Amino acid sequence: MKLETKFKKKFSEIFFSINFPFIKKTLRFFFQFYPTPSEFTYGIGSRCFDGQYVGFGDYDNLELEEVVEELKERQQFFDLGSIYIFQTEKNGFHFICLDKKSLRNWFNILKSTSADPSFIYSIKLFQNREWILRFAEKGEREKPKYVCGLIKKPKKNSIVSLAHKTFLKNYYGVNEFSSQLDDGITELSVIKYNTANRLK
């Protein structure tokens, strides 16, 4: 019998396992303790209405220069279009890339970054299978602020999401976009959700 406990910034995990040597099997239990959601906020979803996805990312405990440097490298390596960066707190940042790709493609791209692993794997937790980025206030914290855009047209002219592009333009005042074709879809998922993470 084995008991293992892990403490993380946002939650605690307890693993409990029992070995059955006579059948060469192990039974493992997993428990997770996290703050009870107590505050509502709003976010947009990464899933487009045709089943494709745009790129969302969430960085914690990094300087802006580190985020920009990594995203420029990923942008070049994966031949991505423009990437837009938003500040959520002193060393916290979001990014949005309007390029439309499959869920698997964006998941693999995110795994190659230093983005928060709990955000990357949250895709498996939400019913609608999409990443969500906050755009509104959360508790005493202000809404994310637009910082800069890494403007680039990919070599292969991929399609971008018109809905997400329009949101960036109307809500954040973004006015720099690469000359890529859009999908013509105007619907956008706006999600109201409960949160207990870092409300101050």
Q: Are residues 53 and 124 in the same domain?
A: yes
Q: Nearest to residue 114, comparing CAs of 178, 63, 154?
A: 63
Cβ-based neighbours of 112, under 8 Å, separated by 6 or more: 74, 77
Domains identified in the chain, total number: 2
What percent of the chain has a predicted confidence (pLDDT) above 70? 81
Is residue 12 assigned to a domain? yes
Average pLDDT of the residues of the chain: 86
Q: Is there a single domain that holds both residue 119 and residue 179?
A: yes
Of the candidates 48, 65, 19, the residue with the CA atom closest to the CA atom of residue 183: 48
**For residue 37, is pLDDT > 80?**
no
* pLDDT per position as a tens digit, 71-107: 999 999 999 999 999 999 999 999 999 999 999 999 9
Residue 11 lies in a domain: yes
Specify whether 19 is located in the same domain as 110: no
Residues 115-138 have pLDDT tens digits of 999 999 988 765 568 999 999 988
| Separation in Å, CA 121 to CA 79, 85, 104, 150 | 23, 20, 12, 25
What is the domain extent for residue 15? 2-33
Q: Is residue 200 domain-resident? A: no
DSSP string, 11-31: -EEEEEEEEETTTTEEEEEEE
pTM: 0.78
Residues 132 and 156 in one domain: yes
Regarding whether 11 and 102 lie in a shared domain, the answer is no
Backbone phi, then psi, for 91, in 5-degree steps? Answer: -120, 40
- Spatial distance between the Cα atoms of 85 and 87, rounded to a whole number of angstroms: 7
More confidently predicted of 159 and 37: 159
56 and 19 inside one domain: no
How confident is the model at residue 19, as a pLDDT? 76
Question: Is 47 inside any structural domain?
Answer: yes
